[in-house]
Structure 1
Amino acid sequence: MQPLLTPQQCRQLDHIAIEERGIPSLDLMERAARAVAEAAEELLADRRRENEFAPVAFCSGGSAEPPETVRALLKRREQDCAPWAAVFCGPGNNGGDGLAAARLLMERGICVRTILVGDWAKMTSDAREMARRLRDLGGKIEEFDPDDLEQSAWLSLCDCAIDALLGVGLKRPVQRAFLAAVRRLNSLHCPVVACDLPTGLDGDTGRILGQAVRADMTVTFTAAKPGLYLDQGRVYSGQVRVVDIGLPDDLTAPLLTEGDLWAVKGPDTLPRRPRTAHKGDFGKLFLLCGGVGFTGAPVFAARAAVRSGAGLVFLAVPNEIYPIVAVKCSEAMPFPIPDRYEELLSRAKGCDAAVIGPGLGADPAARELARRLLRDLPCPVVLDADGINALAGHIDILDTRSAPTLLTPHDGEFQRLTGCALPLEDRLSAARDFAAAHRCGLVLKGHATVTAATDGRAWVNVSGNPGMAKGGSGDVLSGIAAGLWGQRHLRSGPDDLWPLAAQAVAIHAACGDLCAREFGEYAMTPGDMIEALPKVFKSLEPCSGT
């Protein structure tokens, strides 16, 4: 797991380091710039190996002959064997990082054009000093002019670009010259390195503020920001590289090691199963799933629970579909829902965890049954799909439960439950607020699934793929989560259930990525993901030994 810090936390760390610890701000800027320059060099080296340096081609947008300055530029590009790089800088300290990176690239023999966007008079003192150092080396700083054909031609021919326009402090849509610069960067046919955060991306939420730079790589400082992975951030940030710029360890360590927000890039290793355990130690699970027309959901959930290590899986389904489900289940134990509620409750109370909801449908009797069980069950419950829909208008049931409850909605189910507007502008805050308000765990499924705990901890999953967006995928996740929850050796207390929920999301995503590699995103199915579970779990087992 990778710790995440908000832009505000990072700014506060910088302030303390500079103002209270006496660390020169220019030293921090120099280290940040070095990391950005090294990233740009790596991308240039990749293009050199692949022989993808910019071709000699430029379109002026009209039929007229290019002016002499452009013709001279094209001729120079034919003869110049050195790579060309463009560095877009704003007047703030993010721009100062870019100015320093431009100087470092020049020192390495790269032909650099440094382009300032915004008001020169608003340059920070550190940015001015970096501009002075660049000029002392012979570098020039020019204003961004989208109507300048020679500048546009040069940008069209460059081999790499750096976005150092606005940084992490942006909270309103990109406007005027900065908007034009963002559009120009996105029009280039070369890789783009973003400095700390792509311009136009909200560092807290990952939302696009009007328009944003689509980077191939983002070099971010001290810690990754949530916005790099949330919402559109995962698309616009490209490869994320976190670099240490020299803040004191005693400042950063408490936040990085004891924080409450993490990016999950893959599942963690699992402890060895106890040698002397029996099937009861690995969890008795109760599942209430399925309905007429929804015979796949209970099978997916049950099979995923079994494949995730559950000792015994009992599956209650409506009598009408029992024959179908029974034929499909070999390891799980399906049974028809008894007529007497007390009999069903008695069987469920004998279990260590439960799943309620997959495939229940909109039948009022089924939803009432889900609500009664949620009220009465003393064990942890994973509530999914129609189980969540059954709570709409009855949220008080969730509030009165004493045992842990995990809800796994997608945005539509979350909207039906809460009445919130879609699209969600801040999925992380929405998940955290709901979990805290209703004393439950929440897995808000989507492009970057967020798992939120009752105590404010949250995990952002950064793996998975669009091939997982198929009916039945959520049922598989519910089975994995309950399968982990029921195993006693994986938890020592209630607080361990929430990291296990995040682990279930990561395992689910790992299965999806494995299937995408094997079958492709179009053809992969939830059934394929269940079949991938053994490979994923095998990779998580500790090395064999005594």
Structure 2
Amino acid sequence: MPHLRPLYRAEQVRELDRRTIAAGIDGFALMQQAASAAFDALRQRWPEARRLSVLCGAGNNAGDGYVLAALAVCDGFDVQLIALRDPDSLEGDAGLAVAMARRAGLQPQTWTADMRLTGEVAVDALLGTGLSGEVREPFAEAIEALNSSAMPLLALDIPSGLSADTGAVLGCAVEATLTTTFIGDKLGLHTGAAAAHVGEHRLLTLGVEASQHTDLTPAAWLLDDRPNEWLAPRRRDSHKGDHGHLLVIGGAPGFGGAALLASETAARLGAGRISLATAPEHVTASLTRCPEVMVHGVRGPTDLASLLEAADILVVGPGLGQGAWGQAMWQAALAAGKPLVVDADALNLLAGMATPPYRHDWILTPHPGEAARLLGCSGGEVQRDRPAALAALARRYGGHWVLKGAGSLIGNEAELAVCPFGNPGMAGGGMGDALSGILGSLLAQFGRRGGSELAELARCGVVLHARAADLAAAGDGERGLLAGDLASYARRLANPRTSDVRDTAR
């Protein structure tokens, strides 16, 4: 995915730093460059600010803070410089940074619990990317003070307390307004708890071209919102048979809404034909809501056989239930041998299988709780290392995975991508059903052969889903956003611009 932004683990970025210094750039000069770039970002973000509180810990992250403080004083700022570690204990480039701050006339103050922060903006240079265990005192105390200060916060490289590799909070973490990260972007800044701690994100490469180091394979790729190559304008002579036949299986007695949502969203994304196999009592509701969907009341596997044979792609799980009806539908879907999207109760049924299948032709879309059941662990363990959880799922079950949540992860055993779109309005019922409908529709149109193209379609579907939610929220707000709102926005995103269509027609 060469056109996407690579994301690295902390050790990989430290290796880039080491290579840059080995190539002839002085380490302290690189630190000054980082601090200067961060200070420029601070002035752009808060142009009226003239007072800073800079909190420094140990190591090079603290060194960045000491240099920034010196630059600010020289630019006429009033700087409160606070040390969480004895400045005289800092060595190497960090020690040179302390000396630079003192030459600028600053005398670091030792942190105390009752210290009042006097700046208009606070700078977090407490803990860098090397943190592995939980935050200890006095750093935890200082982080709490920063978060409760009501001041805007600039985090240098990463908000202190956030894991650079996983996006998990290590006990407590700074809630930054702006994070400036250096040289290479970090995976942990884009998934899990990062959404509540990073704030605005800026990558400052400092002139280092990470992509030139081809032996450092990125840990993941950050997806963009450019139209996917699969979504080119349709041929002018195409017909519904060219765009696949999707079968949605779900809606156990009393649980019809989820399957209806998945089916309608799939229809809006352009599958040629969409069938819905659901409990008979939901047929009338489906015909009323979306008559374009060919709905069938299904009592058992015998009723499902002809529908399975006719379909190209299956979506199984929305409203499926875990009772006898859902179990029968699930087993029949697995036996059909068609590429499929697995969601909701189908994931729970998979987790309960004594000998689960291992397949390459399915996309599975768990939230952290469902992922935990599939792995036999807790949801907290999944969230503590989301990338590792996805990799474990792929090793155990094969296929392509969407680990939902803030910074949804999409991947398999070979590669990982992160979706930077979406919003808290998506924390509501039915959003996963809408996603399964989008994915099923894309597979019906472009992925009927299965195989590696399913990975690209999974990424495309997740981005369409999240971007549709963002457009819907931009219009009427996040609170009250419904899963049914996404279909029309996703349709708009899935279609090329009118000018593109005209150009193709000519």
Q: Which TM-score applies when normalising by structure 2?
A: 0.91
Give yes or no for contact 1:284–1:313 (8 Å, CA) kept in 2.
yes
Deviation, structure 1 residue 288? 1.1
| CA 1:365–1:248: 2 relative to 1, 3 Å | closer
Q: What is the CA–CA distance in structure 2 between the aligned matches of 1:379 and 1:454, rounded to whole Å?
A: 21
Larger Rg: 1
Give yes or no for contact 1:39–1:193 (8 Å, CA) kept in 2.
no
Q: Which residue does the alignment assign to 1:134? A: 101
Q: Which residue does the alignment assign to 1:78? A: none
| CA 1:231–1:541: 2 relative to 1, 3 Å | farther
Give yes or no for contact 2:313–2:448 (8 Å, CA) kept in 1.
no
Q: Which residue does the alignment assign to 1:478? A: 436
Give the alignment of 1:103-142 within 5 angstroms.
Answer: 103-142=70-109
Deviation, structure 1 residue 226? 1.8
SS of the counterpart of 1:190?
coil
- Aligned-partner residue type, residue 388 of structure 1: L
Q: Which residue does the alignment assign to 1:15? A: 18
Deviates more, 1:273-282 or 1:195-204: 273-282
Deviation, structure 1 residue 420? 1.1
Q: What is the CA–CA distance in structure 2 between the aligned matches of 1:299 and 1:191, rounded to whole Å?
A: 45
| CA 1:290–1:248: 2 relative to 1, 3 Å | closer
Q: Which residue does the alignment assign to 1:215? A: 176
Write the deviation string for residues 469-513 of structure 1: whole angstroms up to 9, x where unpaired: 22221111000001111223x798721211221221121111212
| CA 1:320–1:465: 2 relative to 1, 3 Å | same
SS of the counterpart of 1:349?
helix
Q: What is the CA–CA distance in structure 1 between the aligned matches of 2:301 and 2:377, rounded to whole Å?
A: 37
SS of the counterpart of 1:487?
helix
**2:424 is equivalent to residue 466 of structure 1:** yes
Q: What is the CA–CA distance in structure 2 between the aligned matches of 1:108 and 1:351, rounded to whole Å?
A: 68
Q: What is the CA–CA distance in structure 2 between the aligned matches of 1:8 and 1:418, rounded to whole Å?
A: 27
**2:307 is equivalent to residue 304 of structure 1:** no
Structure 2: runs of 5 or more not aligned: none
1:371 to 302, 308, 331: 331
Deviation, structure 1 residue 17? 2.5
| CA 1:294–1:365: 2 relative to 1, 3 Å | closer
SS of the counterpart of 1:139?
coil
- Aligned-partner residue type, residue 7 of structure 2: L
Q: What is the CA–CA distance in structure 2 between the aligned matches of 1:242 and 1:361, rounded to whole Å?
A: 45
- Aligned-partner residue type, residue 94 of structure 1: N
SS of the counterpart of 1:330?
coil
Give yes or no for contact 1:368–1:390 (8 Å, CA) kept in 2.
no
Structure 1: runs of 5 or more not aligned: 54-82
Q: Which residue does the alignment assign to 2:345? A: 386
Q: Which TM-score applies when normalising by structure 1?
A: 0.85
- Aligned-partner residue type, residue 315 of structure 1: L
Deviates more, 1:25-34 or 1:107-116: 107-116
| CA 1:438–1:492: 2 relative to 1, 3 Å | closer
| CA 1:396–1:526: 2 relative to 1, 3 Å | same
- Aligned-partner residue type, residue 344 of structure 1: L
Q: CA RMSD in A?
A: 2.4
Deviates more, 1:301-310 or 1:111-120: 111-120
Q: Which residue does the alignment assign to 1:352? A: 312
- Aligned-partner residue type, residue 369 of structure 1: M
| CA 1:159–1:115: 2 relative to 1, 3 Å | same
- Aligned-partner residue type, residue 370 of structure 1: W
**2:327 is equivalent to residue 325 of structure 1:** no
**2:368 is equivalent to residue 396 of structure 1:** no
SS of the counterpart of 1:396?
coil
Q: Which residue does the alignment assign to 2:111? A: 144
Q: Which residue does the alignment assign to 2:483? A: 526
Deviation, structure 1 residue 259? 3.2
Q: Which residue does the alignment assign to 1:361? A: 321
Deviation, structure 1 residue 296? 1.5
**2:400 is equivalent to residue 441 of structure 1:** yes
SS of the counterpart of 1:442?
strand
Q: Which residue does the alignment assign to 1:418? A: 375
Q: Which residue does the alignment assign to 2:249? A: 288
**2:502 is equivalent to residue 502 of structure 1:** no
Q: What is the CA–CA distance in structure 2 between the aligned matches of 1:435 and 1:40, rounded to whole Å?
A: 41
- Aligned-partner residue type, residue 263 of structure 1: L
SS of the counterpart of 2:355?
helix
Q: Which residue does the alignment assign to 1:43? A: 45
Write the deviation string for residues 164-223 of structure 1: whole angstroms up to 9, x where unpaired: 111100011222222222222223232111000011111112222222111100000122
Q: Which residue does the alignment assign to 1:76? A: none
Q: Which residue does the alignment assign to 1:279? A: 240
Deviation, structure 1 residue 538? 4.1
Write the deviation string for residues 83-129 of structure 1: whole angstroms up to 9, x where unpaired: 11121112211111111111222232222232221133431310111
Q: What is the CA–CA distance in structure 2 between the aligned matches of 1:344 and 1:28, rounded to whole Å?
A: 65
Give yes or no for contact 2:374–2:393 (8 Å, CA) kept in 1.
no
Q: Which residue does the alignment assign to 1:33? A: 35
- Aligned-partner residue type, residue 383 of structure 1: V
Give the alignment of 1:54-93 within 5 angstroms.
Answer: 83-93=50-60
**2:120 is equivalent to residue 159 of structure 1:** yes
Q: Which residue does the alignment assign to 2:7? A: 4
Q: What is the CA–CA distance in structure 1 between the aligned matches of 2:354 and 2:227, rounded to whole Å?
A: 33
Determine what percentage of the aligned residue pairs are the same residue.
Answer: 35
Give yes or no for contact 2:390–2:411 (8 Å, CA) kept in 1.
yes
- Aligned-partner residue type, residue 464 of structure 1: G
- Aligned-partner residue type, residue 322 of structure 2: A
- Aligned-partner residue type, residue 475 of structure 1: D
**2:166 is equivalent to residue 200 of structure 1:** no
Deviates more, 1:133-142 or 1:429-438: 133-142
| CA 1:126–1:432: 2 relative to 1, 3 Å | same
- Aligned-partner residue type, residue 444 of structure 2: G
Q: What is the CA–CA distance in structure 2 between the aligned matches of 1:534 and 1:216, rounded to whole Å?
A: 33
Give yes or no for contact 1:214–1:238 (8 Å, CA) kept in 2.
yes
Q: What is the CA–CA distance in structure 2 between the aligned matches of 1:85 and 1:286, rounded to whole Å?
A: 59
Q: What is the CA–CA distance in structure 1 between the aligned matches of 2:354 and 2:37, rounded to whole Å?
A: 49
Q: What is the CA–CA distance in structure 2 between the aligned matches of 1:124 and 1:272, rounded to whole Å?
A: 60
Give the alignment of 1:247-266 within 5 angstroms.
Answer: 247=208, 251-252=212-213, 255=216, 259=218, 261-264=220-223, 266=225
Q: What is the CA–CA distance in structure 2 between the aligned matches of 1:463 and 1:103, rounded to whole Å?
A: 37
Give yes or no for contact 1:382–1:482 (8 Å, CA) kept in 2.
yes
Give yes or no for contact 1:234–1:462 (8 Å, CA) kept in 2.
no
